[in-house]
Amino acid sequence: MTPKAELLLFLASRNLLVEDIKHYLFRGYFVVLDRYVDSSVAYQGFGRGLGKEVVEKLNAFATDGLIPDVTFYIDIDVETALRRKGELNRFEKREFLERVRKGYLLLAEEHPERIVILDGNRTVEEIHRMVVEEIERRWKFDG
């Protein structure tokens, strides 16, 4: 596998997924995703060193520019993340993850209105509450 092939495979997969996402958005659904364009910038752009700009351009091509209203980035130091994970996959090498984390943090700094950073040292319950509060702050629900 090369970094470019890896990026293109993630983007091909995302391009197919975006068709489904649009289908639901047009019908008024809220769509929740676990990972989207920011992961490609962080992992392939920063982690694999392909560069932020080229990944952002190809992301836009693959998604027709569809961007989430809000993105939650749960931040944790690499040491703690590796300890929690136990078994690791090909993306989970220490130095690589340090670059990935820097990428996410830079994106969050660049898009403070869209990307909400949550502290992954808090408990699952606390993080859940923060996500709910942020969503309620942004959208008014009837029921």
Ligand X SMILES: Nc1ncnc2c1ncn2[C@@H]1O[C@H](COP(=O)(O)OP(=O)(O)O)[C@@H](O)[C@H]1O
Ligand Y SMILES: Cc1cn([C@H]2C[C@H](O)[C@@H](COP(=O)(O)OP(=O)(O)O)O2)c(=O)[nH]c1=O
Q: By the criterion CB under 6 A, which residues form the site for ligand Y?
A: 10, 34-35, 39-40, 43-44, 89, 91
Residue 22, judged by CB atoms within 10 A of its CB (0-12, 13-18, 19+), counts as: middle
Q: Return the one option of ligand Y, ligand X, none that residue 84 interacts with (CB less than 5 to 8 A, by type).
A: ligand X
The two tokens of residue 41 are: 């910038």
Q: Return the one option of ligand Y, ligand X, none that residue 91 interacts with (CB less than 5 to 8 A, by type).
A: ligand Y
**Binding to ligand X, residues 103-122 (CB under 6 A):** 120
The two tokens of residue 26 are: 């047009």
Backbone angles phi, psi at 75, to 5 degrees: -95, 140
Give the binding site for ligand X (CB under 6 A): 84-85, 120, 123-124, 127
